[in-house]
Structure formats: structure tokens, C-alpha cells
Structure 1
Amino acid sequence: MTDQAATGRGGEPSAAELSLADFDYPLPAASIAQQPARPRDSARLLQVGRDRLTDCTIRDLPGLLRRGDILVANDTRVFPARLQASRGAARVGLTLDRPRPDGAWHALARNARRLSLGDTLAIQAADGLTALVIDKAADGSLVLAFSRDGEALMAAFARAGALALPPYIHRPHGPTAADASDYQTVFARHPGAVAAPTAGLHFTPGLLAALDTAGVRRVTLTLHVGIGSFLPVRAERVADHRMHAERGEISAAAAAAINQGRAAGGRVVAVGTTSLRLLESAATADGLVTPFRGDTELFILPGYRFKTVDRLLTNFHLPRSTLLMLVAAFAGRQRILAAYAHAAATGYRFHSYGDACLLERFQTIPPMP
């Protein structure tokens, strides 16, 4: 490990004063990882403390946490959400987002202007699966009613779909066989995510065993990452941006384990921004995590008062993204920009297949009553 003094501890502007330019930074294209580290836990890890930046690796994580800390990971499983469809001679590319309570699916479409309400799409390579357009929005999103549901529908997606890899992972001929495993975490259990919760990609069975030996408790929750993960922020005043809803669940057992660990003095360590958003969505004002099942549209900007998460393990995020805004709220905007500048200058790999950072929370959270 190597240490460097952190910079940028000045005051933070309010959310209402922040613009997209406040979350910009220079990023060479060569810094964006196109393949994951192999093995996964050999990736680099930048520890971002209040006063220092420390260069580590993911394998150092058990030594950076304390006995009794609660590691909370997202156990969503990525499904192949990109489909090819046709209406007559017209070809339409679909990227599924999430199911609605009525069983229909929200999706984004290329060439959506060719579609009208009531159109029926034939899904290619899906053994007769069709989708009826039952709603259409100005932003190109659709609501689709498929001709199958439940496990039969998910099986059709598995046969006909492709992974919706982020656009900055260049795959001219589509996702590879390696991506099918590389873009899935060791925690993955419940299918429903369009994008991977990428902080979880760094974990291996060996690292989990080392965390267990170090006395770190492990808990999982489920947040199905949606298409909003890829969409740019277009509002110049960032507070005007609207987050897409994502489905999540925290079981009663998971909530109890987190609360018991906190009451015993353990710190809540969120694996990824998805875990953090769901924990904060389910937390009461005094930091108690409650069982949760439903949608969250929580948009975290600087000025947000965190209720329950003490540490955040996360990858390095795109300029001007909602994820960069979240980590800036958690660790301090100036501190994050200084950490990212250090990472870019010292060869860290960015984004989904890249390296990670372990962030200390900028604010102080009062102890549980």
C-alpha cells in the first residue's frame, strides 16, 4: 500500500447550486477498462479517507474493515435484456428495463418513431414470442405486453436476448462468451438486472472466505439495476434530473442483521451504489433499516444526509453521471475529484470492468439510539 495526502476539503455548494460542469473531469479513453482484472480480486483499490489516499488492492479489503462490520452486497442477477424485434419489414432494437405490476415491461427502443400504439412486434429467435405496444412516451420508451409471462418469458429472453453491456465497453460483434460470466457477480441469485452492480464483480470465493475469517458479517439485498444506469443527465441544473425507478427488496432477516450489527458497533459497508441507494431508501431518520419491497427513485446529490451507510466500495464512475453525484455526496465532491485525478494519473482502470475505491463517509452519522 502507498499513501498520499488527500486534497480538496473545502465547503460544498448546495444541490440547487450544482450544475453538470461541477461533476466533470478529464478521462482518457485508454483509462476505461475493456476487460476485468483476472483474477477478479487482483484489481486495484483506492482507499479514500478523510485526509489520505491509499493505494491498495481488492485483496487488502479484509484488513481495511473491522471485525463486526456489516458488508451489504446486491444479489441481483443480470439477464440478457437486449432484444431484436420486427414489425413487418421494420427492424426494432429493444432494451428491456423493468416489469410493471401488471406484468407489462418498460423498455427503450431504437427506431421507436416507426412504432404506434397497438403495434405487435415479433421477437427474433424467441420461438414465436410477440410484444404488443400498449404505451409510448416522447423519450422513445415503450410499455410492452408480451405473449408469455413468468418463467416462460424469462426463458425466452435467455434464448433470444443479449447482454446490455455499457456503451463504453466496445464489443463491435456483440458481447463475448467471456462477458456472460465476467458481467455477473459472485452474489448473483435473483434475475432482473439490466446492468451489473459492478462493485460486486471484484469478489471471489477466496475473498469472501477471508472476510469471514476477519469477522466481517455479510448480508445481501436485491436491487434490479435498470436502464437508467446508462442514460445521461441532460438537465444543466442537476437537481432537475429525474431518476428512473428501480425495483428492490430487503428481507426482514437482512434488515434485522444490519440493525443488530450496527447496534453492536459495526459499520455498514455498502458494496456498490445500488446497495447504498436501497439501504438509504429503506432507512428511517434514525438509521434503522426496515424491510423493503418496491421501487426506489432516490436521487442522491451533495447535501443529502446519509442515515445508515458508513463506507462505500464502488468503481470509478463516468463524468457527469448520477453515480458520480452520489459518491460526491458520500465522500465530498472536492475529495472525490481529487481522488479521481490521482486514480487517472496513476493508471487505475475506470468504469464497469475497472478498479474500485473504498470511500469513507464525509458526514458524521449519529449512533443508533
Structure 2
Amino acid sequence: MNKIYFDYNASTPLAPEVVDAMQPLLSDFYGNPSALHWAGKPVKKLLQNARIQVSELIGCSPREITFTSGGSEANNLALKGFYFKNQHKGKHIITSTIEHPAIVNPCKFLEKVGAKVTYIGVDQYGRVSPEEIEKAITNDTILITIMHSNNETGTLQPIKEIGEIAGRYGIAFHTDASQSVGKVPVNVDDLKVDMLTIAGHKLYAPKGIGSLFIRDGVKLEPLIHGAGHENGLRAGTENTLLAVGLGKACEIASTQLGDPKLKDLTDYFWSKLTSEFGEKVVLNGHPEDRLPNTLNVSFVRKIGQDLLDAIPHLAASTGSACHAGRIELSPVLKEMNVPGEVGMGAIRFSLGRYTTRDEIDTVMNCLIQIVR
């Protein structure tokens, strides 16, 4: 059978337009963007254009965009950079229990060097309560970091409400929007965030590139010291090739945010599942406030990985790709109090720009044979 890819939350293929935009940098534009001669100036212009394209997607100034090697580095820069620069103001950080390891592990590291971290739980849909976050605030709190959407369930968090709370208390607010940018509208002013993470390979750009939005006035200690690249926040000659790819991907995404295709396909898939399996299939995550492409479902009293192993031509996951291969209840589902007999049967189907109804029908036919 033809291979079918339903794992867009793990990584997306490169958009053809992105490949085309990057191609000249593999041959013609090879100068250092910091150089002031004929070879460097056009590369610097391409880098700045990419910065503009990223900034326009999330509604900020180009100077507020710092390119990184991906979402993990952006998260580390946001958390460690802010803590080390501002620990004289306080040492308390608030986050949630369902964050990506790229947030959880930096928090655990900071705890080793003196930070105090409060982990807020979630409800049955995987959403944090703004009220619980406000209750956790102390005079020592300097930073709140809550993901915009969960990578496993797709559940969207009440970021704007949390941002308003953070603003009232004068606390910096960061959100990891790696899974959200390009799938749903994301505007840094609407969300009231001070920092926001983007990962290129989640929106049809290359792996190894991302960015961190840092609102003017927010001070960070760089993780990489050297020359003054990226406004002094990330030393090292910029990876213009990948930055151009990210910029083009953001430009494309800005033109497709209103397209209902992804939500229509996801709804179609869910309707087929419920029609065929009834109460033997359960939706994990919020029924409405979630990413339009993400369908995390449990086949009750089945093992999700066993089902996927029986469909070798299908690429999907039993949770975050970072946990692939582990036959145990997802930590996210565990925090949502999903029963073991339900959670162990979880599969995350994440659709994308190139998904078709025919592919969904093919997967359904396979599932019908295997589950029964």
C-alpha cells in the first residue's frame, strides 16, 4: 500500500515553496551576513526579509524575533535566559504538568540552581485553570510559562486570560507555540505574551530552525556567548539558509490560516470513527478548543502501539514523538486522569496540508479490520 503520513505534529514535510526559496542559498548566496562587502550584503537582506516574514505571522516587530536552532533552544533561551538575567527580582516560576520536555527539563535544571517551580495541574480536557495560576503567584514569581497548545491532544490553553493575569502582577509570560503557529491564528499582542516559541519543522520549514519572540524591554542572558549576533542573544554566524526557509513557511501559513480544510478533514475522520466504533473509541482532549488538525483518540481496551504496528504503511504516534516506543500511559493523559484501559489505546492522528479524504478512508478500512 502507499505510505500514509498522519504525524504532522511530530514533523512536517518541507513545502515545495520553501525548498525553492532556500535553493539559491545553496549556490549563489554564500557570503557571511555580517560582512559589509558584495557577498555579505545580499545575504543580510535575505536574513532580514525572513525575520520580517516571521514577525508578520505573529504580529510583532522584526527586531523582536531571534532565530534559534529550533523550539527546544528557544524554550531554553526563554526560561534560562530570563531566570539568569532576572533572578535578583525573584526565583519563582509557574508552569503546568503537561508541558513538553523542552519546558519541563529546563525547569528541572533551574530548580537545581535555586529556582522554585510550581507545576499546575490540568482538568479532564488537559486545560489549565487561570484561577489556579493566579493562586500560585507569590511576591517571588518572575515568570509564567504555559504551552499554547498541547502537542499530544491539541488542546488549546487559555493563554490570553493567563497573559492578562501575568500583566496585572507585572510577571513575564512565555508560551511555547510550536504546535500552534501556522495552524491557528497567533498574535502576541492578543495573547498578552512577552515571549513566544516557534519551531520551523512544525510548519513545513526545515528542522534545525526556530525563533523566539522577545518583547521589547524583556532582558535575557544569552545561552551562547561570542560575537553580537541576533541582538547579542545568540552568538554564531546566522543560518541564513534555514532562516529563509522558516520565513517562507511563515509567509505561506499567513495566507492559509482561514482555510477550513484541516478542520473539515479532522471532523470527517472523527465522524467515521464514532460511526464505526461508537463507545469503543474515546476522544482525548477538549472537544472544541483544540488544534484543527489533531485527533487524539483511544480505542478502549486496546494497545495503541499494537494497532499502529499492524498498519506499517501508516505513520502516526501513540503520543508525543519524543515518547515513541514506550508502551505506557502517556504522562499527559495520566495528568488528565484518563483511565489506563482507555489511555493505553491512545493514538494521535495529526493531519496536515497534504492529507486527503482517500487516505482517511484507507486508514479507516485498516482500523476496522484490526480493531475487530
Q: Which has the higher helix share?
A: 2
Query: Is TM more than 0.5 here?
Result: no
- TM bucket, shorter chain: under 0.3
TM-score under structure 1 normalisation?
Answer: 0.26
TM-score of the two chains, using structure 2 as the length reference: 0.26
Instruction: Decide which structure has greater strand share.
Output: 1
